[in-house]
Structure 1
Amino acid sequence: MTLPPLRRLAAAALLPLLALAFPAQATQYPLTVTDLAGRQVTIPRKPERVVLQDGRNISILAMLDRDDPFARVVLWNNIPSRADEGFWNILRGAWPKAAAIPDMGFGDNGQVNAEQVMTSRPQLVVAEARALGALKEAGVDQRLAQLNIPLLLVDSFDDPVPNAVRSVELLGQVLDREAEAAEFAGFARERFARVQAGIAAAGTRPNVFIETRAGFAGPEACCFTQGRVGWGPLVEAAGGHNIGADLVPGASGEVTMETVIARRPDIYVMTGANWRGRGAVTLPFGYGGDQGAVAKSLARLEARPGFAQVEAARSGQVFGVWHGFYNHVLNIVGLEALAKAFHPQQFADLNPDETYRTILARFTHIPAQPFLISATAPRVGG
């Protein structure tokens, strides 16, 4: 029997309570699970030595190993130190030993230092599903298999809306932290159900163009976007139609300003962070973000040739949001920010800032610090 929408929401709201009423049992090893790439993975023992291919997944460990997210990490690609300096400063301030964990020095395309991985004697390697091709090409997956070291794939990029939460649940099971994982999963799914109910009530979907990494390549560059991964599914889940999915054949690509103008987007979104690239126009969202600096940079990017002809610019519907949500376990916060921008009447009471603070306070021991999630750009022409 299919439950009516309101009853489905009520059932979703009960999930965290049921998890408390029936606490999770200790994980029994060896354990065989299905990872987020659909692979069967056997975990022979409780992992106490973990390698992270994508260091941003330390945020998942912060929900599971709350007292010390770095307790099991023996090697990682410390992407936060290069792409999210504010967050990294908070992490190493709270857990100073994090700075001593070896960093392989790569980005998020799947590279690892195979020799470092093997010599770190891991009991589990955690990687993003998008990295599997690179790991196979380098033969890393075979070397791990020969040494009976499990490779577990999680995902917050290819299909981010369901899979970010599923990744928490998967790692919770593998690391014997199922109760902690269930607490967050229940909260996140309840928040998502609220967004979906509001979108259904709205009945229409605005056409949205999302310019990812706006300003990163310089003050005149435009317009890099994502199709059916990362920000694309987040736009759709927030109640918009992602124009980029119609324009780029792959995961992402460049679109000309003329093409954007011709598609007449109702809403234009720029993503950014506190990047320090040469020539970059920084949209300093995130930890330590400054509203004034963000407004100034948004105005500069709106001054690019042709931008004033974009439909959304003429109607004052240009927004900015923290870039990191596109590939992050806390993408529910970014999704709420988008939903509020796309459907302001339905989501007048939605507060992404409160959601972010609640997650940190209830499900992690990460110290609370001001975090700038989003902003409205100045109206073009005054």
Structure 2
Amino acid sequence: MDNQRITIQKEPQHVILQDGRDILSLALLDREDPFKRVVAWNNLPKKQDTQTWDVLKRKWPEATKIIDMGFSDQGEVNLESVLAQQPDIMIAQLRAKPALEQTGVINSLKKLNIPVVFVDYELHPVENTANSVKLLGTVLNQEQRAKEYTDYYQQHLARIQQVAAEVKNKPTVFIEPIAGNTENCCFTHGHNGWGALVEAVGGKNIGSKLLPGSAGFVSMEQIIAMKPDVYIMSGSKRPNPSVLPFGYGGTPQEVNATFSKLLARNTFQNIEPVKEGKVYGVYHHFYNHPYNIVGMEILAKDLYPQKLQGLDPTADYHQIITQFTQIPDDPILLSYAYKKP
């Protein structure tokens, strides 16, 4: 992912996960037990997506004993406690590379002959997700399992991109990640994360046009003036009840109630897609997720509902879980379409 070549002397048996959400990639490869090699990690599922963590630890209870090193994107970590686990390799997110270099973490690991492998599902998700899974398949000696999933991924991506290519007038989209999590409106992504996923399915992302960086706020007045064709909000179950509770254990009734509150925000009714009933919701964590093909399918269906009537993203998510992992196939709520009264 970072154009570096590394040499791995033997198949790694002791792995550090700088971003614990990468356990979902390991679930595609070490299907019987994705935690079996993990000796230290930043348990982000526990912090940010507790329902997913509950599903994982129910299947693999030994995961609760793995040291949680609290490895932030700023490179803050107690390196001694991590090194005490005698790791063979660290898997890290590409977005964290600058901080890991600046804080000396990479250099410290290099001196101990512990290579760092970078993966990416957020900065350039369409270009890098399948390649990241392939890379991990090579590193962990699970090439065939990686290929099985990435073949599926590429086939589904090609389908929705073909539909998008046939649309002449590309829809303009405003996407609000973790809608309702802050008093300020409205937070959005630029060319990365959700912005990149919107662009991958042919949408014109407002955040990409207005933001100088990867994320930031766009005023309600700007959104109204730009007249987006579609407005999308992401969310997941969190302590904040104002956020859309998508994910494992979510119910349509809960999402509908929260959706109504979000639509009642000040001047929100003046946004064009709210007037026209083109407002949608999606599970937030697809913005940085090896199964983000499902997120792209949801977005594509929101943007081209007539052309993709037969597409069932939730069924595809369950297919990924049952065909390519051994994660329990629990009920999950991934999307919502606002129905104008």
TM range (shorter): over 0.9
Q: CA deviation at 1:107?
A: 4.7
Q: CA deviation at 1:112?
A: 3.2
Q: CA deviation at 1:110?
A: 4.4
The whole-number CA distance in structure 2 between the counterparts of 1:53 and 1:178 is 22
Structure-2 residue corresponding to 1:31: none
Residues 1:224 and 2:187 are matched in the alignment: yes
Residues 1:173 and 2:134 are matched in the alignment: no
Structure-1 residue corresponding to 2:321: 360
1:35-54 Cα offsets, whole Å, 9 max, x none, are x1111121121100000000
Structure-2 residue corresponding to 1:313: 274
Structure-2 residue corresponding to 1:325: 286
The whole-number CA distance in structure 1 between the counterparts of 2:159 and 2:76 is 38
Out of 247, 259, 262, the residue aligned to residue 286 of structure 1 is 247
Q: Give the letter aligned to residue 148 of structure 2.
A: E
Residues 1:41 and 2:6 are matched in the alignment: yes
**Normalized against structure 1, the TM-score is what?**
0.87
1:90-140 Cα offsets, whole Å, 9 max, x none, are 111101100000101345554433222222110010000000111112100
Q: CA deviation at 1:262?
A: 0.8
1:3-39 Cα offsets, whole Å, 9 max, x none, are xxxxxxxxxxxxxxxxxxxxxxxxxxxxxxxxx1111
Q: CA deviation at 1:373?
A: 0.8
1:242-300 Cα offsets, whole Å, 9 max, x none, are 011011100000111111111111100001010114xx502110111111111111111
SS at match of 1:42: coil
The whole-number CA distance in structure 2 between the counterparts of 1:166 and 1:111 is 27
Residues 1:261 and 2:224 are matched in the alignment: yes
Structure-2 residue corresponding to 1:29: none
Distance 1:335 1:110, change over 3 A: farther
Q: How does 1:117-128 map to 2 (within 5 A)?
A: 117-128=82-93
The whole-number CA distance in structure 1 between the counterparts of 2:72 and 2:269 is 35
The whole-number CA distance in structure 1 between the counterparts of 2:257 and 2:339 is 9
The whole-number CA distance in structure 2 between the counterparts of 1:353 and 1:184 is 17
Q: Give the letter aligned to residue 89 of structure 1.
A: D
Distance 1:110 1:342, change over 3 A: farther
* Contact preservation (8 Å) 2:245, 2:255: yes
- Percent identity over the alignment is 46
Q: CA deviation at 1:330?
A: 0.5
The whole-number CA distance in structure 2 between the counterparts of 1:297 and 1:377 is 11
Moved more, 99-108 or 317-326: 99-108
Moved over 4 A (4+): 106-110
Q: CA deviation at 1:346?
A: 1.1
The whole-number CA distance in structure 2 between the counterparts of 1:341 and 1:295 is 17
Q: How does 1:1-382 map to 2 (within 5 A)?
A: 36-217=1-182, 220-277=183-240, 280-379=241-340, 382=341
The whole-number CA distance in structure 2 between the counterparts of 1:303 and 1:357 is 33
Q: CA deviation at 1:201?
A: 2.4
Structure-2 residue corresponding to 1:6: none
Q: CA RMSD in A?
A: 1.2
* Contact preservation (8 Å) 2:73, 2:99: no
Q: Give the letter aligned to residue 169 of structure 1.
A: K
The whole-number CA distance in structure 1 between the counterparts of 2:310 and 2:73 is 35
SS at match of 1:274: coil
The whole-number CA distance in structure 2 between the counterparts of 1:56 and 1:338 is 22
**Normalized against structure 2, the TM-score is what?**
0.98
Paired residues, number? 341
Moved more, 137-146 or 103-112: 103-112
The whole-number CA distance in structure 2 between the counterparts of 1:359 and 1:301 is 31
Distance 1:183 1:263, change over 3 A: same
SS at match of 2:329: coil
**Could you list the runs of 5+ residues in structure 2 that have no partner in the other structure?**
none
Q: Give the letter aligned to residue 286 of structure 1.
A: G
Q: Give the letter aligned to residue 232 of structure 1.
A: G
Q: CA deviation at 1:241?
A: 0.6
The whole-number CA distance in structure 2 between the counterparts of 1:106 and 1:173 is 25
